Chain A
């Protein structure tokens, strides 16, 4: 153990839809430094940059289980419903999802169509 330095980043995560980039330090279902939580998908993870607790992690994204694109967990790029699906794939297969999800996707489309409001 060299120091209290942060875990060495494995690489840069880049969302193939929105181009969000961030360094990730782990890929998998068992985030390091904690035994209390497991993930239900193969996730790209970084240490939560907004917390001083080094056990806290942040899931950046995962692969779409339909098209295999690497996408971020942002609401404009993907959703999770027992598996990760990118929003384009959700829309293509919208009828495969329960109504709650369908409504939710409709709402998101509406929200993202609005011009981004001035800060």
Chain B
């Protein structure tokens, strides 16, 4: 049908006032581009019950197609309208009725049933029939086009699958699996094993398949890919399960899950009855949990002969895995690699001249130059550079960007795990024509991230890995040479899409000297969590567990000792109640403890947030550190209590922003240099912690939602529906599309440069936001966040107490001379490590004066005293979450806590001198108190508070353990610890914390620490003072000397030259309660006061103490010889008085 001749002219005329065509006008003034016209057509053809729905993405695609079709027909239409069919010859009868006159319409195998515009009322009536049929015909062509497109994708998918190297091995794998219980499938990256083997199993009829992955991200992407390839992308046959998310349903036949999650399933059901086949992928990576899983499986398999196991590995050390499972058969699949030329470019000379720590970027630039000289720009192919760490990346980044701005032939991009997600994604974008990408990456690109189009690889030969020093309990980030296996992996990245070149910046002889394989994780990291998990899975003594390669015995011993120290294991290495609870919390032991303690003090909400915040990577972006605007915007959120509180404030403020309509949280985060992704992770983790605490009865279950009126209920339902729809639309849009990179990508200084594209995106859907709002109850979160603003000073103090007790013994003491040092030179000492510094992200790094005692109050002693002996009641310790050694040992995530009280409450050992004016905590921190009387009082209170706190915790955990045994349905008849008891304990703890006692604080020198104790005494010189510390009975300490008062307190065991005199300092004193008048040393006086039977008992909440008092009093009885009546008695001092009165 020829278009109206005059269309163009009319187009020009009408451009400025599109109107709905009225019936009489419609015939002549027809414009397909008029929005009103389109709306009318959509009303008629794209209704909800139609194949295409208005407003959908499909609808947009149709109009785009329509415009193309219009243009095409306009070009083509005038010629051969009435062409003679040319009398096709009659053939066989089956083809006799083929239409003679050709029409493209006959090539379409479908027909639209849509409404007849003539018969329909309303909008359709206003459309001229010939336009409607024109539209209908276009729609038909569109549907045909869409069918062809989808079928094309299907066919392409199948061609690609068939072309994978592994495709020829599918049957062999299935056959071998039929005959053996364990099969090793070995093939290099790109052979397709991770995506295809699960599908072969599906096709062979297996329906209970689990496939483990070391990384969460791989679970999601593989489930998506396999779902797509097996054509159940939007079905439920293929699912994944990771820490916070699950797409698993009853219909799921294959599930991708993390190793950690599978281990938890084994913990619940040790024989894994829910699976037929288990695929363990990437076993060669030798992750801690993977190695452990292999051990578990080896034990489990004899008891589950029907369970099949496929181990998938790169072609690295295959015989190790095969022989571990009694020589399991190996199916080896060749990788699909194009030839790669290796160029060795060792850099001896320069390396030795500049012995500075900084990496020399010149060898890397030389490779860029060489590529520019040798390969014409139109030959595409990007460069991937492997560097050891982030510092090295930024050094080379600077140099390479300078080079790139000269040549205009490179876009330089960093890639490491600390980058924001958006910046990470840039490496997948395409460079403009004639320009190459140069990606500077850590070993993350070795196996985890696959980037297409890489033709050149530069391998520095170095990697930075965490190594663990069990002695110092210290994680160290150290640079190592890589292994040969890693070098081959890196090289292989150049040959995935075509022949490639790998430049090795080391000599071939270096390569030969590399270790064949990387050091497995089990030999590098702290084993606390592993041991805890092993204990809770009752796999026996970790020392004898049949690991594929055993961990170093020292690491195991350190871990066991640490868990004993933390109270997770008892002295026989059995799991304690708190230990079994900790084993179920997927967090660091320290953070688990915080959660448990916090919920006891009704501080669950804030502790949940803080625990979550401390369990994810820091949300503060690196670039923002140097950015003044970010720093200023962030300042109001900073807390001088410490980093956990800053994170707490950030999260709460973010939740507030989220809950306000029309506020863009993404923008809010960017302005403050906060990586929003981490906040989403926090929210997820927080929710998981909350559920765990509820499951374990430590937190009363979800409060019943406040009753709402029907309007707001309706409103809420409507909102959720809208969110679901947004999510669906986003999924239809298939997420992110590749963009073309700009030549000058300003990565690293991502502030302004982000503003551009982001603000364009601002009105588009923030899918993270949508998911967040669907997953979380924002109202509840907001309530928690706003109640956080109302935390009282008391609650804050308790919160710090909880954090401190959780973090103990991870404490650091400020160096005595810090107040005279520059901000950047502040140093701190831990028990094991001297001279640590604050991490640059730490709040105190910018305002260390918060930690100084000087200047805050007048020094208590004569002027000549140096700073280290300064008397103050405000000494602070830093409790820290981790100690990280890179170029310096850094304290990460610090809270400041009052030193004296915290040490008295937490320390595992406190030793005193004779008058308790000198205390040593855990053998390394010395406290000198001016006033021995208040020292003794504090000690006595600490003893009592600790006992009550411990008892409450034990009862709580015991009850929880019992509930677990009996099953959840038995609701506890009454709480093990009454709220009143906790309230009293809290109050007294607060009183204790508020005590103002001047003291000095210092770290003992090594020599002092060695000669701390008087040692066991044959004749005890110091008097035993019954009742000095309340009701405790004293017994001589076997090694330190002095008297053991409790499991942590040893009285009078410190060597000293001053206490001897204090014995003689007696003065007369009259007891206000019983009237006893005698010469007393201060300590004797306290001892009397504590035991005076006449003294009013006001010990609230501890009836035991009160009831125990009368019997205990007998300990005060001493032989008394009355000189008036000449008789001998066993009297307490009061009884002596009473007796004497008789004689008056």
Enumerate chain A interface residues (CB-CB to B < 8 A).
Answer: 2-6, 20-23, 34-41, 43, 46, 48-56, 58-60, 62, 65-66, 72-74, 79-85, 93, 95-101, 119
Contact = CB atoms under 8 A, between A and B. Distances in A.
Contact of B86 (A39, A79, A99): A99
B621 to A, nearest CB: 34
A82 B231 contact: no
Given A85-B95, A93-B92, A98-B100, A49 B231 contact: yes
Nearest to A104: B107
A17 B971 CA distance: 67
A36 B49 contact: yes
A39 B144 CA distance: 11
Contacts of B235: 5-6
8 contacts: A5-B236, A6-B232, A39-B110, A40-B109, A62-B109, A79-B107, A81-B99, A82-B106
Given A3-B251, A58-B147, A59-B147, A43 B234 contact: no
Contacts of B88: 95-98
A100 B76 CA distance: 14
Contacts of B73: none
Given A20-B155, A37-B112, A49-B234, A100 B102 contact: yes
Contacts of B109: 39-41, 43, 59, 62, 73, 80, 84
Contacts of A48: 150
Contact of A81 (B101, B107, B114, B163): B107
B179 to A, nearest CB: 26
Contact of B233 (A34, A50, A60, A74): A50
A36 B98 contact: no
Contacts of B101: 98
B111 A37 contact: yes
Interface in B52-89: 56, 58, 85-86, 88-89
B700 interface: no
A58 B236 contact: no
B429 interface: no
B196 to A, nearest CB: 15
B421 interface: no
B50 interface: yes
B1120 interface: no
B49 A80 contact: no
B817 interface: no
Nearest to B152: A74
B89 A38 contact: no
Chain B interface helix/strand/loop/mixed: loop
B86 A56 contact: no
Contacts of B153: 50
A88 B232 CA distance: 32
B94 A66 contact: yes
A21 B162 CA distance: 12
Most buried by B among A81, A97, A98: A98
Given A37-B112, A41-B109, A98 B85 contact: yes
Contacts of A49: 150, 154, 228, 231-234
B984 interface: no
B707 interface: no
A1 B497 CA distance: 46
B154 A6 contact: no
Contacts of A82: 97-99, 106
Contact of A22 (B91, B154, B163): B154
A99 B155 CA distance: 28
Contacts, number: 144
Contacts of A35: 49, 113
Nearest to B157: A49
Interface of B: 49-51, 56, 58, 85-86, 88-92, 94-95, 97-102, 106-114, 143, 147-148, 150-151, 153-155, 158, 160, 163, 228, 231-237, 249-251, 497, 728, 731-732
A51 B99 contact: no
Nearest to A7: B235
A113 B158 CA distance: 20
B102 A22 contact: no
B158 A95 contact: no
Contacts of A84: 109
Contact of A65 (B89, B94, B158, B233): B94
Contacts of A95: 88-89, 91
Nearest to B235: A6
A38 B697 CA distance: 59
Given A35-B49, A82-B106, A96 B95 contact: yes
A3 B249 contact: yes
B499 to A, nearest CB: 11
Contacts of A65: 94-95
A43 B111 CA distance: 13
A96 B102 contact: no
Contacts of B95: 65-66, 85, 93, 96-97
Nearest to A77: B155
B1072 to A, nearest CB: 78
B664 to A, nearest CB: 27
Contact of A80 (B107, B160, B232): B107
A38 B150 contact: no
A38 B151 contact: no
Contacts of A60: 151, 154
A58 B89 contact: no
B722 to A, nearest CB: 17
B151 A98 contact: no
A41 B731 CA distance: 32
Nearest to A65: B94
Contacts of A101: 102
Given A79-B107, A81-B106, A82-B106, A6 B236 contact: yes
Contacts of B51: 34, 36-37, 55-56
A98 B102 contact: yes
A60 B233 CA distance: 17
Contact of A58 (B90, B94, B150, B249): B150
Contacts of A38: 110-111, 113
Contacts of B158: 20-22
B92 A36 contact: no
Given A22-B154, A36-B112, A95-B89, A73 B234 contact: no
Nearest to B106: A82
A39 B111 CA distance: 6
Contacts of A39: 109-111
Contacts of A81: 98-99, 106-107
A40 B231 contact: no
Contacts of A99: 86, 102
B399 to A, nearest CB: 35
A73 B102 contact: no
A95 B98 CA distance: 11
A88 to B, nearest CB: 13
A80 B108 contact: yes
A40 B111 contact: yes
Contact of B231 (A34, A46, A54, A66): A46
Closest 3 CB pairs of A and B: A96-B91, A6-B235, A49-B231
A99 B153 CA distance: 29
A74 B102 contact: no
A100 B111 CA distance: 22
A95 B89 CA distance: 6
B236 A37 contact: no
A52 B731 contact: yes
Contacts of A37: 51, 110-113, 143
A84 B110 CA distance: 12
B49 A96 contact: no
A119 B336 CA distance: 13
Contacts of B100: 98
B333 to A, nearest CB: 19
A73 B150 CA distance: 11
A60 B152 CA distance: 10
Contacts of A73: 109, 147-148, 151
Central interface residue in A2, A21, A52, A85, by most chain B CB within 10 Å: A52
Given A49-B228, A97-B98, A59 B251 contact: no
